[in-house]
Structure 1
Amino acid sequence: MAASSEQWWIGAETGILKGLDLVKRTTTNFTDFKTLNKQQEIHVMCWGPQGKDQLELDLGKNVKKMKQHKEKSNIIATGGKENELKVYDLEKPDQPIFLAKNVRHNFLDLRVPVWINDMQFLSGESNKIVTCTAHHQVRLYDLNTPQRRPVLDVEFQDCPIMALDVTPDQRSVIVGNAQGQLGRIDFRNGIYSKNYKGFAGSIRSVQCHPTLPLVGTCGLDRFFRLHHLRTGKMEKKVYLKSRLNCFLYTDRDHTEDLLVKEKEDAKEEERKVEEKEEGGESDDELWQGMEEVADDTEGTSKRRKNSEA
């Protein structure tokens, strides 16, 4: 594996942002532990340009996930608990350009509940999107057709599916569930074709490498793992101490970011020292201005003599 393929950003449940270098076998924390707060838990990460305007959308209640199209940055998808899949064009955000329709009632004529946990757009001109649910369903939607129901609807094991990602060849999807099971499902026939082993807890994030036949995973067992897509062999396994929620691949060396962070911290310390010196007296001036207190040695000696007598 090339060195540039082994740089990863990982977000933890404790709010810690970690940089992982699999070549040097090092991890770097980019979070100040003094200000660590459980409410700052990292749920999702993505790459994006700086200096963009903020946009607020009313997506309804219980939104669980939002994903941006990898090639069309103005297209996003959302979904959640009893919040059906919606696709928006951020240039025309008033109404969704696609609103999915729930599948037909089951064999008991009961409504099938909606609970979307993750989704991913397929690349290229296919204009398709795949979702996974807490009711262990994997569904494929074709946005080019007038049909709003999924064109493929299959089940994976019997536990909630927490995360997924589409393989680079766009022919299958890798899904991971709350029981630590990772599998591969073929879009062409809906068959469960590959099982990846070695997990001990819920899988929270799945991501295929953009150029190499590798799939990365992390979860509540605190391990980051790399498996070979075709053979299923575990290539790497790293213990990261915290319960992990998400991660990102990067071709940039984390040491560059660490140097930048150290320089920023040094400048901040210098600024605080300057503010302290400008706002009040220095330590030397403070000590010099204090009143001297003489010891009462004579009184002490007299008390000693009286006590001896």
Structure 2
Amino acid sequence: MSWNFDVIVGHSNGTLKGVELTKKRKQDSLLCFKYTKLIDATQINSITSLNYSVDLNEILIGSKGTIQTFDIENKVVNKEYTIEEPGTIVGVFKEQNALVTGIDNGKVVVQCFDNAKKNISKSINTGSNISCLKQAHTSNKFATGGNENPLKLWDLETGKVDFIAKSPKPDMLQLKQPCYVSDVGFFNNNKIAVSHRHGVVDLHDPLSSQRRPVATCKAEKNGFVSLTTIPDYSDYEVIVGSSKGSIFHYDFRGKSALPVKTFRGCTGSVRSVSCITSSDKLYVMSISLDCHLRMHNFSTGDLTVQDYIVAKPSTLLVKPDVNA
């Protein structure tokens, strides 16, 4: 694997940047970001999705109507796939000879390529208004969710749904509660964490008979827009980013629904959040609409590094852990 970067950042103007974590001076431990422009703003439309390809030397870039594979080592676009479905791409992954793309209109486009390089395309209808598509650790499964479209776990081979989460229970006045899935994350124990735009993060167990959450955490007057799990650290802890600039650390095993800690410093909606290990320490990386890239120490919650990155960031991809 030839990743020279610790983080890849996609921007709403189409720019793609590689970011390296380096020391300010050799004699101290202070970290800073070093940037490399990989794609200019004039080359593609707004980047809405990033993911690893089957070959970890390549990444998948989702923009309006197209998916591109980008070679990290040579810094060139290798291939480009056209997506006929109208709408914004909310997620993409590649599994063997299949390219799977989620569109916000509710369609999941599966493009299969046989040995003769012939493109066989099919579409899976997941319901209306999806805001995320994520691949499960078991490679033939993926999850979707969106506005009034609860968590669904799908089988890629059959195109059928394996699990549908139940909508939230009515309140004490029997009024319907909102359901707006913003992001999804998977744990090693097959459980699924789901964040909602109305300030709720749920833990689901698709292997149980219970379709409602097995655990729930909440935040008052906050909406969650991004989520990441920490599967190699814990199967019950998540990091979520809010629409008001807060980043919360939740533990589903706790007796309280309140966060374990809060990572402060953001002043805009946290568009993407992820965890990265550097010098045997775990850090929380985030991008927000105040045009900053930030890194917090996971253990202490302190802000370690922050940089103004000029263009509005839209998505974040950290270096894959090949030892995981």
What TM-score, normalized by structure 2, do the two folds share?
Answer: 0.70
Q: Write 1 or 2 for the structure with the bigger share of strand.
A: 2
Q: 2:166 maps to which residue?
A: 101
Counterpart position of 1:74: 140
Aligned to 2:74: none
* Deviation for aligned residue 1:5: 9.6
Task: Report the equivalent of 2:70.
Answer: none
Answer with 1 or 2: which has the greater Rg.
1
- The residue number in structure 2 matching 1:248 is 317
Q: How far off is 1:27 after superposition?
A: 1.4
Which of 107, 113, 129 does residue 178 from structure 2 map onto?
Answer: 113
Residues 1:201 and 2:262 aligned together: no
**Structure 1 pair 5/111, CA: closer, same or farther in 2 (3 Å)?**
farther
Q: Which runs of 5+ in 2 are unaligned?
A: 24-32, 56-95, 100-109, 111-122
d(CA) in 1 for partners of 2:240 and 2:150?
Answer: 20
**What pairs up with 1:1-309 in 2 under 5 angstroms?**
7-23=6-22, 25-36=33-44, 40-49=45-54, 52-54=97-99, 55=110, 56-69=123-136, 71-93=137-159, 95-123=160-188, 126-167=189-230, 168-189=233-254, 190-209=257-276, 212-250=281-319
Bigger helix fraction: 1
**RCO higher in 1 or 2 (8 Å CA, sep ≥ 6)?**
1
201-210 or 24-33, which moves further after superposition? 24-33
| AA in 2 matched with 1:236 | V
Q: Tell me, in whole angstroms, the C-alpha distance in 1 between the residues paired with 2:220 and 2:17.
A: 32
Moved over 4 A (4+): none
Aligned-residue Cα RMSD (Å) equals 2.1
Distance 2:133 2:192 in 1: 12
Once the 2 structures are TM-superposed, how far is the Cα of residue 75 of structure 1 from its aligned partner? 1.3
Cα distance in structure 1, aligned partners of 2:293 and 2:4: 15
- How far apart are the structure 2 equivalents of 1:6 and 1:215? 16
CA deviations over 1:95-144 (Å, ceiling 9, x no partner): 21101111210111111121100010112xx2210111111111110111
- 8 Å contact kept, 1:6–1:23: no
Please report how far the alpha carbon of residue 31 of structure 1 lies from its aligned counterpart in structure 2 after TM superposition: 2.0
- State the distance in 2 between where 1:231 and 1:42 align: 32
Contact (CA 8 Å) 1:12, 1:242: kept in 2 or not?
A: yes
Change (3 A) 1:33 1:175: closer
2:271–2:289 CA contact under 8 A, matched in 1: yes
Contact 2:202 2:217 in 1 (8 A): yes
Residue range with higher mean Cα deviation, 211-220 or 96-105: 211-220
Is the contact made by 1:10 and 1:247 (CA closer than 8 Å) also made in structure 2? yes
Contact kept, 8 Å, 2:14 with 2:42, in 1: the verdict is no
The percent of aligned pairs where both chains have the same amino acid is: 30
Q: Separation in 2 of the partners of 1:48 and 1:222? A: 27
Match of 2:93 in 1: none
Partner Cα distance (2:263, 2:4) in 1: 20
Partner letter of residue 48 of structure 2? H
2:63 corresponds to which residue?
A: none
1:74 deviation in Å? Answer: 1.4
Distance 1:216 1:34, change over 3 A: closer
Q: Where in structure 1 are there 5+ consecutive unaligned residues?
A: 253-309
TM-aligned CA deviation for residue 251 of structure 1? 6.3
